[in-house]
């Protein structure tokens, strides 16, 4: 082995895929140790990084070819030592010339100065910031100007990012493919228009408004009106997730929903203002749609719309069923509350999806219209493999007993369902048809009742939600 050239040894070590195995080999001798360190391209560190700057310097010197770095301070307390600060980002930028992917989570000591150091990382393609309260729009701007190849940007709970020049710059640069903005209180729906021509490059957009600020935020009407006049090219959008958004009819995000002709996955969670015509337009344009998730506000949770109620009905489900022949994942949910909606999706609408689409995964939460008749219909669902029922209180033992007759069902999850008991699971006991059965917080099902009902069983019981 001593006579083998480094290039050949690197090729041999590179064929060892598991990190633990490669680490074991690196302990054989100093030469192997040095070569194995050079093959390490990613690290994930957290509160144990202490003292932060010295420890990070040592890691960067040891692993000289790092491409992905994750620094996560979840659960950090002051007694664990000083967090990574701006000087740490200077170390990263100077010691990791190959850095492409950086995740900073709960790094509360980092400021705009630290991001300006990262601007020198010419290969940086992905940056994800989770809870960086000292970062502002100026820091984001300096980074996106310096990192010309940035294609992934995630900002989660960056509460002080207010200036939107960075959005305008990204809009002109036309390279961003994945944008995630969650609970950044100052950034609103109208600000997304600043992405301009970059819309045509976006493949994934996740936008979530802080629920506590949804009704309090003052929306820029002029900015929203511009959406109606400007063409928004979304041909390459594959995944769209909107949470707690106010969607104005014919404007703003409503325009985006109807123009994503290659969309494969959509998630709309508590989005006030979504209408049937929006979903119908989406279904007619997005024939490649494979996954749809809708969490609908109940009739009593729409204070902005009491005089002009807007709700989704079976017309939406009918359009999806008729136009989206590839759809295999459906999640329907109503918001928490004492008064679930009875005037939205009916059993007939849900059954249209099951009958006309190759549904592989179905999840229903708080859908009171789904009952034992619906379970009977699932017995003819040839592709259904995963079924999740949460707070579906109209399902009884009679309906649950039909689960064993669903041809391809292998995973069943029951949560907070009041109408089912151990008797509903008896046909499954000993059959081992299911690969996995999960029962959580169903008051009439006991731990004994789930034993033997699947190859793998998970049971939890916490009934505090009922009181």
Per-residue pLDDT tens over the stretch 185-206: 888 888 888 888 899 999 999 9
| Confidence at residue 303, expressed as pLDDT on a 0 to 100 scale | 47
Residues 210-243 pLDDT 10s: 877 655 444 444 445 555 555 677 889 999 999 9
Query: Is the bond leading into 51 cis (omega within 30 degrees of zero)?
Result: yes
Q: pLDDT band at residue 48, thresholds of 50, 70 and 90?
A: confident
**Residue that is written with structure tokens 């049971």 in the block:** 459
In angstroms, the CA 274 to CA 123 distance is 40
Tokens of 193: 């228009």
Mean pLDDT of 159-182: 92
Contacts of 71 (CB under 8 A, 6+ apart): 45, 46, 49, 84, 88, 103, 104, 105, 107
What is the three-class DSSP state of 141?
helix
| Confidence at residue 218, expressed as pLDDT on a 0 to 100 scale | 42
| Confidence at residue 71, expressed as pLDDT on a 0 to 100 scale | 95
Q: Is the model's pLDDT at 181 over the cut of 70?
A: yes
Residue 157: which of 201, 222, 104 has the closest Cα?
Answer: 104
Judged by phi (left if over 0) then psi (alpha if -120 to 50, else beta), residue 435 lies in alpha
Long-range Cβ pairs for the range 212-215 (8 Å, 24+): 213/185, 214/244, 214/246, 214/272, 215/303, 215/304
Residue 41: which of 66, 22, 78 has the closest Cα?
Answer: 66
| Confidence at residue 292, expressed as pLDDT on a 0 to 100 scale | 97
Residues 257-312 pLDDT 10s: 888 889 999 999 988 888 899 999 999 999 999 999 999 876 544 544 444 455 78
The structural domains of the chain, ordered by start, are: 1-39 (1.20.1280.50)
In angstroms, the CA 354 to CA 365 distance is 16
User: Which has the higher per-residue pLDDT, 455 or 467?
Assistant: 455
Q: Which neighbouring-strand residues pair with 459?
A: 439
Radius of gyration of the chain (CA): 26
| Confidence at residue 126, expressed as pLDDT on a 0 to 100 scale | 97
- What are the CA-CA distances from residue 221 to residues 26, 182, 226, 251, 404 (Å)? 61, 21, 9, 10, 54
User: Which has the higher per-residue pLDDT, 349 or 80?
Assistant: 349
* pTM check: above 0.85: yes
Strands (E) located in 297-396: 329-334, 361-365, 386-390
DSSP state of 82: P
Q: What are phi and psi of 303, to 5 degrees?
A: -65, -25
In angstroms, the CA 236 to CA 153 distance is 17
Biggest distance spanned by C-alpha atoms of the chain? 83
- What are the CA-CA distances from residue 467 to residues 337, 461, 463 (Å)? 13, 14, 8
| Confidence at residue 230, expressed as pLDDT on a 0 to 100 scale | 58
| Confidence at residue 418, expressed as pLDDT on a 0 to 100 scale | 94
Mean pLDDT of 37-53: 83
The lowest-confidence range among 57-66, 125-134, 364-373 is 57-66
Judged by phi (left if over 0) then psi (alpha if -120 to 50, else beta), residue 174 lies in left
| Confidence at residue 355, expressed as pLDDT on a 0 to 100 scale | 94
What is the three-class DSSP state of 19?
helix
């Amino acid at each position: 082995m001593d006579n083998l050239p480094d290039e050949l040894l690197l090729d041999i070590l590179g064929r060892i895929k598991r990190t633990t195995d490669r680490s074991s080999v690196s302990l054989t001798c100093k030469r192997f140790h040095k070569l194995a360190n050079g093959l390490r391209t990613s690290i994930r560190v957290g509160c144990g990084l202490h003292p932060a700057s010295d420890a990070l310097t040592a890691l960067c010197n040891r692993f000289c070819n790092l491409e992905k770095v994750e620094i996560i301070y979840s659960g950090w307390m002051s007694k664990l030592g000083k967090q990574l600060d701006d000087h740490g980002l200077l170390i990263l930028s100077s010691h990791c010339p190959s850095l492409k992917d950086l995740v900073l989570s709960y790094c509360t000591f980092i400021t705009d100065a630290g991001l300006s150091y990262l601007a020198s990382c010419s290969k940086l393609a992905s940056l994800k910031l989770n809870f960086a309260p000292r970062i502002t729009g100026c820091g984001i701007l300096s980074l996106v100007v310096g990192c010309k190849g940035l294609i992934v940007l995630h900002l989660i709970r960056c509460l002080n990012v207010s200036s939107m020049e960075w959005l305008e710059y990204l809009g002109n640069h036309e390279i961003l493919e994945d944008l995630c903005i969650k609970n950044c209180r100052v950034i609103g729906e109208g600000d997304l228009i600043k992405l301009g021509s970059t819309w045509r490059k976006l493949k994934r957009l996740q936008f979530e408004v802080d629920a506590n600020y949804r009704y309090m935020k003052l929306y820029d009407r002029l900015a929203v009106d511009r959406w109606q006049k400007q063409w928004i090219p979304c041909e390459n959008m594959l995944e769209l997730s909107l949470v707690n958004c106010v969607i104005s009819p014919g404007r703003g995000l409503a325009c985006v929903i109807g123009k994503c002709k290659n969309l494969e996955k959509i998630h709309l969670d508590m989005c006030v203002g979504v209408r049937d015509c929006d979903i119908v337009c989406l279904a007619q344009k997005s024939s490649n749609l494979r996954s749809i998730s809708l969490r609908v506000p109940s009739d009593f949770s729409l204070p902005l719309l009491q005089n002009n109620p807007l709700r989704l009905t079976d017309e939406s489900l009918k359009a999806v069923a008729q136009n989206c022949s590839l759809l295999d994942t459906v999640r329907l949910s109503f918001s928490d509350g004492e008064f679930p909606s009875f005037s939205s999706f009916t059993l007939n609408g849900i059954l249209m999806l099951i009958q006309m689409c190759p549904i592989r995964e179905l999840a229903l939460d708080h859908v009171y219209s789904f009952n034992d008749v619906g379970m009977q219909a699932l017995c003819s669902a040839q592709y259904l493999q995963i079924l999740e029922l949460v707070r579906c209180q109209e399902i009884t033992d009679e309906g649950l007993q039909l689960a064993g007759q669903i041809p391809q069902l292998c995973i069943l999850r029951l949560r907070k369902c009041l109408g089912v008991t151990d008797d509903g699971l008896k046909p499954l006991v000993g059959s081992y048809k299911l690969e996995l059965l999960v029962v959580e917080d169903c008051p009439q099902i006991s731990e004994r009742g789930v034993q033997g009902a699947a190859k793998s069983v998970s049971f939890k019981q916490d009934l505090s939600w009922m009181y």
